[in-house]
Structure 1
Amino acid sequence: MSSEKLTHDDAIVNGVRLHYVEAGEGPLIVLLHGFPEFWYSWQKQIPALAAAGYRVVAPDLRGYNASEKPHGVEQYEIDELVGDVLGLIDHLGEESAHVVGHDWGGLIAWEVAIRHSERVEKLAVLNAPHPERFRELLRTPEQLRRSWYVFYFQLPWLPERLFSIRNYTPIAELFRDGAANPDAFDETDIQRYVEAAAQPGALTSSINYYRALFREQARDELKTLFGGSRGDSTVQEPTLLIWGEQDAALRVELTEGMERWVPNLRIERLPNASHWVQNDQPEQVNDLLVEFLEG
């Protein structure tokens, strides 16, 4: 990717400083990365989307890489993460945007569309199920087994300690060993992810996403037990779900049955891609995104 085509900037949104990169002109697309990534996970998409006539903005989510890392698990609750996206769209001078998210960025993208449909033109999500579908399947033994790390991340300090051993080798192995395409990441890419994870406070901040989610879901379950409701989870906007079928953590069955909440849904399953779908099959993902956004 040509670095001269990118601009780097910071914005104070929702009370935190977010770093972001920007390229291109046209309708706004906001790209939201996952764990343990940063804006760089979209390096193969930004040029293609900018060339297709879009203004592409990819932030480091709060707690990651060059963005601010507020202290406390409560700082990473969904309300705050959604507020960051809305604040960024406001900062960029727009009322709405196309929102694209992968992994944790996908969960945030779902929640932005559920809670603030007027701010989303079109929604595209990569390897992140609709929140209600994930709640359903998380009750099954197989998905519970695959999602063991969510419970492990609830422990204090130990996950951070283990991720940082041997100069953050476990972080490098997530990318090196988890991709379906041997060319998905080169050593320079992996080193950039390691450097981002090694920023002071970054590991705790990124793991706090899981800690906050676990607490929020526990509260939701208690509310439901006593007759409460989580509210309407419908997404009315045109939605594209791209799913790498070789995802080791998230079963492909998570893509089934989402039409109950997403009536205008298109699903593209990529059999030769892993959880790192936009890196395993960048050209296919780029083509799908451009076709969907222009359709």
Structure 2
Amino acid sequence: MTTPTVDWSPPLPEAAGFDHLVVRTPGLRTHVATIGQGEPVVLLHGFPEHWWQWHAVAPIIAARGYRVICPDLRGAGWTVAEDPRVERETRLRDLLALLDVLRIERAHVVSHDMGVITAMQLTYDHPERVRSAVQLAVPPAFFTFSPRIIPGFRHLPPFIWHRPGASLGGVFSEAYAAHPMSEATVEAHLAPLRRPDIDAAVRPLTRGMVLPEALRMMRGVYRRRRLTVPTLVVYGRRDYPWTEPVLRRICRDPGRYADRVEFAYVDDAAHFITDDAPAEVADLALDWFDRSGSSA
């Protein structure tokens, strides 16, 4: 069941052209921002972000004739969960229930950061629901471990041991963004953390979902499976340590593990690539939808 609503606390950040709904599934009331009409595209936000991460990306995709759906995943944004526990596939189950209620049988999926975990699970376990995938700032699940990527996980300890009320504003520093974010932008990203339930979800999300899935990747679970969904992996060239040579090293012979995987790099962008280069992200996604056979 979907319900339009205007009573948001804290207030939603401003973004022109979006409609906002609450989608009710068992144990969850998911806030969903939508824009446009046509073939569905689902955008899964990173952390500590929410639907507004896509406010400059989604309108460009919608203008090309797509219906863009931007849910706040469990533990983020304006979504409300009855149960605070998070397991490895909790968000995947949430997403499948959401797609069913919205009557979306198959969609393009674009994801960033923590949202890639859910998108990746969807593409491996339910490939019939995904037309194509674009994942931002996260390597494909079949990557092999290298000591060179250890600095890429330097942000995790503050999340694993997050204390209620502790600011997460430091993650939007120059270490992760090529262009300084304004105070208003950072505040828009972090606003929902003023809600106690969202603040309390930081540790469960990291401990219950991110770490178990990361360990599965490190153990090579996905190198024993086959990725059949056409997938584009996109990185900013200033996203240390995920440089093009490092990614070539840890993702050798992708054809051994996937039917079709390509890599793209955006100049003058870092981890928060949708803030640094929203137009480039949208253009790469649209091109991938076309080249991977959106009508297939």
Normalising by structure 2, we get a TM-score of 0.82
Change (3 A) 1:40 1:174: same
| Residue number in structure 1 paired with 2:156 | 150
Q: In percent, how many aligned pairs have the same letter?
A: 27
| Residue number in structure 2 paired with 1:96 | 106
Contact 2:140 / 2:233 at 8 angstroms: preserved in 1?
A: no
The offset of 1:97, in angstroms, is 0.9
Contact 2:58 / 2:282 at 8 angstroms: preserved in 1?
A: no
Contact 2:134 / 2:231 at 8 angstroms: preserved in 1?
A: yes
2:185 is aligned, of 178, 182, 189, to 189
Amino acid at match of 1:95: E
The offset of 1:202, in angstroms, is 1.3
Contact 2:274 / 2:281 at 8 angstroms: preserved in 1?
A: yes
Q: For residue 56 of structure 1, give the secondary structure of its aligned residue in structure 2.
A: strand
The offset of 1:154, in angstroms, is 3.7
| Residue number in structure 2 paired with 1:60 | 72
Q: For residue 132 of structure 1, give the secondary structure of its aligned residue in structure 2.
A: coil
Q: Distance in 2 between matches of 1:251 and 1:259?
A: 20
Q: For residue 76 of structure 1, give the secondary structure of its aligned residue in structure 2.
A: coil
* 1:10 counterpart = 2:22: yes
Contact 1:107 / 1:129 at 8 angstroms: preserved in 2?
A: no
* 1:233 counterpart = 2:225: yes
Residue deviations 1:213-264 (CA, integer Å, cap 9, x gap): 366359859xx7xxx9779532212211111132246565246324432231
The offset of 1:91, in angstroms, is 1.3
Q: Distance in 1 between matches of 2:221 and 2:183?
A: 47
Return 281-290 or 199-208, whichever deviates more.
Answer: 199-208
Amino acid at match of 1:241: V
| Residue number in structure 2 paired with 1:201 | 197
| Residue number in structure 2 paired with 1:131 | 141
| Residue number in structure 1 paired with 2:177 | 179
Contact 1:71 / 1:205 at 8 angstroms: preserved in 2?
A: no
2:123 is aligned, of 113, 131, 142, to 113
Q: For structure 1, which runs of at least 5 residues remain unmatched after alignment? A: none
Q: How does 1:276-291 map to 2 (within 5 A)?
A: 276-291=272-287
| Residue number in structure 1 paired with 2:212 | 216
RMSD: 2.8
Q: For residue 200 of structure 2, give the secondary structure of its aligned residue in structure 1.
A: helix
The offset of 1:13, in angstroms, is 2.9
Q: For structure 2, which runs of at least 5 residues remain unmatched after alignment? A: 1-12, 292-296
Amino acid at match of 2:178: A
Contact 2:240 / 2:270 at 8 angstroms: preserved in 1?
A: yes
Q: Distance in 1 between matches of 2:263 and 2:104?
A: 28
Return 12-21 or 141-150, whichever deviates more.
Answer: 141-150
The offset of 1:69, in angstroms, is 3.9
